[in-house]
Amino acid sequence: MSEQPNFAQEVDAEISDPQLEEPQLYEVMLLNDDYTTMDFVIDVLMQFFRKSYSEAELLMFTIHEQGSAVCAIYSREIAEMRVKQVVDHARAHEYPLLCVMQPH
Ligand code: TYC
């Protein structure tokens, strides 16, 4: 008998046992608009997505030019919380900034 692990069995177990499946991850994205200031977006990226100033500035310009960009990838619960925090923060400052999530 071979001492090698049976990978086929392990793969089958992962498919059949939901407890062993990897949790679905979600991309959290910011969308461009014409009214939110560049400085506000940079602050959001630093405050809520833990980017350095230079990372945040580069990502902000990517969103500004491309229309959107992935800012982080999280589990569903963390992604939902982050989207709500960012949207609430933007509305509190009367900016229309949109933050959305989609399966990774
Ligand atoms: N387009 C905005 C401007 O010119 C800047 C901006 C960047 C807004 C990224 C939203 O997610 C955004 N002031």
- Per-residue pLDDT tens over the stretch 68-102: 999 999 999 999 999 999 999 999 999 999 999 99
Task: Provide the domain limits for residue 96.
Answer: 22-103
Ligand 1 center to residue 59 CA distance, Å?
11
Instruction: Give nearest CA residue, ligand 1 atom 11.
Output: 32
Please report, for residues 21, 23, 104, the alpha-carbon distance to residue 11 in angstroms, rounded to integers and kept in the order given: 10, 16, 21
3-class secondary structure per residue, 46-73:
HHHHCCCHHHHHHHHHHHHHHCEEEEEE
CATH of the domain at 49: 3.30.1390.10
Tell whether 3 is covered by a domain.
Answer: no
Tell whether 8 is covered by a domain.
Answer: no
Ligand 1 center to residue 54 CA distance, Å?
16
As separate numbers, helices (DSSP H) first and strands (DSSP E) second, the chain gives: 4, 3
For the chain, how many structural domains are there in total? 1
Mutation pick for ligand 1 pocket among 29, 30, 36 (CB with most ligand atoms within 8 Å)? 36
- Per-residue pLDDT tens over the stretch 5-43: 454 454 555 556 777 888 899 999 999 999 999 999 999
Count of alpha carbons within 13 angstroms of residue 35, beta-carbon side: 8
Q: Tell me the whole-structure pTM to 2 decimals.
A: 0.84
